[in-house]
Amino acid sequence: MSTNTWFSALKKSAIAIVGAATMIGLASPATAEQPSGAPDGEVGTQVVGGTRAAQGEFPWMVRLSMGCGGALYAPQIVLTAAHCVSRTGANTSITATLGVVDLQSSSAIKVKSTYVHRSATYPTATGGDWALIKLASPVNNVPTLKIATTKEYDNGTFTVAGWGAASEGGAQQRYLLKAQVPFISDSTCRASGGSYGDLIPAAEICAGLANGGVDTCQGDSGGPMFRKDNAGQWIEVGIVSWGEGCARRGKPGVYTEVSTFAKDIAAAAARL
């Protein structure tokens, strides 16, 4: 899709960079403290129709201070969305919070960033809404989340999690929420109309309920969509990217297809 159309459909961040429109978030009684504005990134979305995750259930989940989510790819590297950051280069303005489901917990691990690598193909017709954030020090006591390297797991039912809004138009969350969403074929996704007609099949994957009600939302941008592999281990197959609104009927969530960019992600990580 065109750059303007794509930015207007971003639903996973509340404050979009490069003049993008503000997206709708999800509401909840428990609201996380909003991070101060940063030169890079935007505030993302949260899980609609979700339930609270247990402490330690998804230990590799990361909350980024610009309001996006992410996953610990390596002890010193977080995988997130390209639209959460503005450029590749040195960056010490981002704080990653790990190790907790409650963002206000005194047990939270907080580490500053030192460098950001933003996908060189974002935003283009090739797709590539992914980015890596290098941390100032490794987090060795938190498990990492491996990524899919083939399309073998790009199907079935996925789990999503985040601290974003819990309803369209709502606030960011204090506690990590989780939900399950089923795979939607590219043809069905494109038939949803609007921005979905410009879906990039080779680079994006759709998931959601036909009748809506469960979805990622503002504040969830950059967070992982994951499932179990054949060995029963969690594997990241998608990165929260965009969609029209949150949990609307016939308007699924769109995720970066991680397997498409797995080699590029690994190569970039090796250089950090």
Q: Is residue 190 part of a domain?
A: yes
Q: Quick one: tokens of 30? A: 């428990």
pLDDT at 13 over 70: no
Residues 210-250: tens digit of each pLDDT: 898 888 998 999 999 999 999 999 999 999 999 998 999 99
Amino acid at 59: P
Query: Would you state the pLDDT for residue 34?
Result: 33
Q: Is the pLDDT of residue 103 over 80?
A: yes
The residue assigned the tokens 């977080």 is 78
What are residue 194's phi and psi, to 5 degrees?
A: 60, -135
Residue 171 has pLDDT above 70, yes or no: yes
What residue numbers bound the domain in which 218 lies? 146-259
- 252 in a domain, yes or no? yes
Q: Is residue 50 part of a domain?
A: no
Please tell me whether residues 105 and 84 are part of one structural domain.
yes
Same domain, 156 and 137: no
Residue 22 lies in a domain: no
What confidence tier does 16 reach under pLDDT thresholds 50, 70, 90? Answer: very low
Q: Are residues 90 and 132 in the same domain?
A: yes
* pLDDT at residue 26 greater than cutoff 50: no
Higher pLDDT: 24 or 38? It is 38
Q: 40 pLDDT exceeds 50? A: no
Q: Is pLDDT at 161 greater than 80 in this prediction?
A: yes
In the residue annotation, 28 being an active-site residue is answered as: no
Do residues 123 and 180 share a domain? no
Task: Decide if 12 is inside a domain.
Answer: no
pLDDT > 70? residue 2: no
Tally of domains in the chain? 2
pLDDT band of residue 9 (cuts 50, 70, 90) is low
Within 10 A of 68 (CB to CB), how many other CB atoms are there?
35
154 annotated active-site: no
Query: Is 182 within the bounds of a domain?
Result: yes
Residue 221 annotated among the catalytic residues of the structure: yes
Q: Same domain, yes or no, for 100 and 140? A: yes
Of the candidates 260, 253, 241, the one whose C-alpha atom is nearest the C-alpha of residue 184 is 253
- Does 241 share its domain with 190? yes
**Whether residue 176 sits in one domain with residue 88:** no
Q: Does 17 have pLDDT greater than 50?
A: no
For residue 182, what are the β-bridge partners? 157
Residues 134 and 225 in one domain: no
- Residue 120 forms part of a structural domain: yes
**134 and 154: one domain?**
no
Same domain, 82 and 150: no
Given the residues 40, 129, 215, 220, the one annotated as active site: 129
Alpha carbons 227 and 158: distance in angstroms, whole number: 5
Q: Residues 8, 83, 241, 259: which is the catalytic one?
A: 83
Q: What CATH number is associated with residue 172?
A: 2.40.10.10
**pLDDT computed for residue 233 by the predictor:** 97
Judge if 116 and 199 occupy the same domain.
no
Q: According to the model, what pLDDT value does residue 45 have?
A: 36
Among the residue ranges 5-14, 52-61, 68-77, 127-136, the one predicted with the least confidence is 5-14
3-class DSSP string for the chain = CCHHHHHHHCCCECCCCCCCCCCCCECCCCECCCCCCCCCCCCEECCECCEECCCCCCCCEEEECCCCEEEEEECCEEEECHHHCCCCEECCCCEEEECCCECCCCCCEEEEEEEEEECCCCCCCCCCCCEEEEECCCCCCCCCCEECCCHHHCCCEEEEEECCCCCCCECCECECEEEEEEEECHHHHHCCCHHHHHCCCCCEEEECCCCCCCECCECCCCCEEEEECCCCCEEEEEEEEECCCCCCCCCCEEEEEHHHHHHHHHHHHHHC
Mean residue pLDDT across the chain: 85
Residue 41 in any domain: the answer is no
Query: Residues 58-70: what's their mean pLDDT?
Result: 97
**Residue 70 scores a pLDDT above 90:** yes
Same domain? 152 vs 112: no
Model confidence over 123-136: pLDDT tens digits? 999 999 999 999 99
